[in-house]
Every structure is written in C-alpha cells, then in structure tokens.
Amino acid sequence: MTLNLTDARPALTSLTEQERMFQEATRDFAETEVAPKVMDMDRAQAIDPDIIRQLFELGLMGVEVPEHYGGAGADFFASVLIVEELSRVDPSVAVLADVQNTLVVNALLRWATQDQLARHLPRLASDMIGSYALSEVGSGSDAFALRCMARSEGDDWVLDGRKMWITNAAEAGLFIVFATVDPDAGYRGITAFLVDRDAEGFSVGKKEDKLGIRASSTCELILDGVRVSGDEVLGEVGHGYKVAIETLNEGRIGIGAQMLGLAQGAFDHTVRYVQEREQFGRTIGSFQAVQFELAEMATEIEAARLLVYNAARLKKAGESFAVKGAMAKLFASEMAQRVASRCIDLHGGYGFTTEYPVEKLYRDAKIGTIYEGTSNMQKQTIAKVLMR
C-alpha cells in the first residue's frame, strides 16, 4: 500500500501570481540550498553567510519593501508563505526572514517617516538584517515593564539599558529598540528608536546557547550612553507601545506560519519513513494504527494552515486580525509540538538520533509557544474579546 499524504497541502487557487512565484521559488531554494546545510548550521549555531546572501538575492528579505526602494513590492501573505516554506526545511533560517519581514519592515512601513524609509528600506531589501529589541530580563510577557531608559539631550536621545533574547542580533545592522522616556508614565512613556549597530556605546553581548533554532542568533544587547538622533524616533515619542502591539500582532501570524511549516516538514519526513521502514515483514505504514496517526496529524496541520492563512488574508485586506492572529499562533505552535513529538515516535529509535531531521524539528518546535507572546498571552488576547 502506498500512502499519498506527503504533499497533502491543497492547491491554493486564490494565490496571486506573485505569491505563487514566491512560494515556489522559496520551496526550491529551501530544498536545494538550505537542506544540505541544516545540521552543519545547527551544530555551528550560525546561519551560513552564503544562505543569507541568497535570501537577499531572491528578494526574501524585503518582501513588502516597495519596488522603488529596491524591494519585491509584494504583500504580507507572500511573507507568510515564505516563512512556511523555509520552516519546512529549517525554522532557524525561517525566523531570520520572519523577523526581517513581519516585524522590522512592517514596523517601518507603518510608522516610519519618508526620510527614515528612504534611509533604511533600500539597505534592508539588499544587504542589511534588522532586529526587534523589546524584551528585557524583567520584561517578557509583561512587555511594558521595561527598564531601558532614554533621556533627551538637545535634539538627540541617549539610551541606557540592556535587552535580552533578541533574535537576529548577531547579524543585524539595524535595531528597533524600545525604551522609556518617562518611567512614571507607564506604557505611555515607551518610545521606539532606530539604532545603528555601529552607534557608539552599543554592543551585542552574550549569545544564548539554546535548545532549538540554534542557528538563529539570540543575544543580549548592551546600550551604554547610545546617542540616537531625534530623527530616528520611530513613530511618536511615547507611542512605542502602539508600535510594539501592532507589530507583534502581525508577527504572531509569522510565528504561526513558522510552526505550520515545521509541522509539515516533520510530517513529510515521517510519511516517507513509514513507507520505507519494515517490521514484521511489512512496511510500518501499512499498519492501520500508523495510518490513523498520520491522518490525525494531517488534519491538525490543515486546521493550523487555515487559521494562519485566514489571519494573513484579514491583515492583507486591512480588516481586524489581532484575535485571529492570536488563535493562529496559539493553535499552530501547540500543534507543532504535538506533531513533531508523534513523528519522533513513528521513527522509533532513529527519531531520537540526529541521523533523521525530525529530531531537530522537535527541538525547534518548543520555542513556538514562548516567543512573540506565550500561549497564555494568546489565550488572554482571545478571552478579552470573548468577555466584552
């Protein structure tokens, strides 16, 4: 008996020609260029510079950047498709592109001045990685309890403090840093600043040694009297909380896509494996118990895909999507852990070794319920609307 669930993803007739082009090009790139380097990058805890170069060359790092700034001029849904396809092969590479597109570029497109767009978007589309620096030691789920300070000096701002667990920090050239200009004002004192990596007093500190997505850099940032021009305030002074909330609402759809792609990748590997592995004189995929496992996983993956795509479509259409995005991230991240774990089980002893890709995908899945808002924070977002 031959199973045909490996590529059970539906044909999306509603994709635009540009979206389909990005999806197919990303899938080809991931399978031919990224896949052979996945485990080496995981062991080295760094993304191969050649992979980063190709991401830029393919336009995958400036998906929504307008063409006149050197970007692809595509839409948010294209970004989601790219993250999904990269995650099928390596969620570490996917999160590099995800943060670039759904957080950094999206924040600039929504909040930056024309001068800021002209100065930063061409670089972000061509050769510069961006990073989003919100979290601190005492400011995780309570994102607005941050202690990083910004004081006014003439037309400039001077930043002091530390940021923790910042994705893309090792490679980034531009950072969106959140600091408070008035601790007594609470969240109304928070302001977003565009900080250059080469700014005096700015440095990237400890790189975390992580359980999963090990090739993706996660680092501490140290700001010691970093002087930032008043022209580099993103949005308005005291409106950083709006920048953070609205950007993270979009970013959560990207994480949902990452977890969706991860689960699909683990599932694809497993379907191939159960049609090759023999026990009791037959392939294990011919046993009904295994087939039922696959059917349940395929259903969960498809449910997550519909949630993620729906949230992305709503965002693209300019409609309210915050709750749908929270649902997508909540379900997809928890689904990815369940699916990756079951895929390990179906691989048996081999699944517990680094010889097969599911081991890495299982480790990578854990972060989904933590970053860009824990599962409990997603539930809180959803419940607030339900209880109105």
Q: In 10 A of CB 231, how many CB atoms?
A: 12
Sign of dihedral through CA atoms 272, 273, 275, 276?
positive
Task: Identify the burial level of 11 via C-beta atoms within 10 angstroms of its C-beta, where 0-12 means exposed, 13-18 middle and 19 or more buried.
Answer: exposed
Active-site residue 355, yes or no? no
Pair of tokens at residue 49 = 């510079």
Residues 6+ apart with CB under 8 A from 177: 133, 148, 159, 163, 192, 193, 194, 195, 221, 223
Query: Distance between CA atoms of 255 and 213, rounded to whole angstroms?
Result: 13
Least Cα distance to 169 among 208, 140, 127 occurs for 208
Query: Distance between CA atoms of 216 and 347, rounded to whole angstroms?
Result: 26
User: Alpha carbon of 23 to those of 16, 81, 117, 141, 272: distances in Å?
Assistant: 11, 6, 27, 33, 22
- Residues 19, 84, 171, 372: which is the catalytic one? 372
Which parts of 275-374 fold into alpha helices (H)? 288-316, 322-347, 358-365
Task: Identify the burial level of 318 via C-beta atoms within 10 angstroms of its C-beta, where 0-12 means exposed, 13-18 middle and 19 or more buried.
Answer: exposed
Query: Distance between CA atoms of 63 and 102, rounded to whole angstroms?
Result: 9
Indicate the DSSP class of residue 104: I
Least Cα distance to 38 among 282, 317, 380, 363 occurs for 363
Query: Per DSSP, what are the bridge partners of residue 180?
Result: 149, 190
Indicate the DSSP class of residue 148: -
C-beta separation of 264 from 85 below 8 A:
no
| Strand ranges for 208-321 from DSSP E | 218-229, 233-234, 278-279, 282-283
Query: Per DSSP, what are the bridge partners of residue 150?
Result: 159
The amino acid sitting at 80 is V
Question: Hey, which residues are catalytic here?
Answer: 372
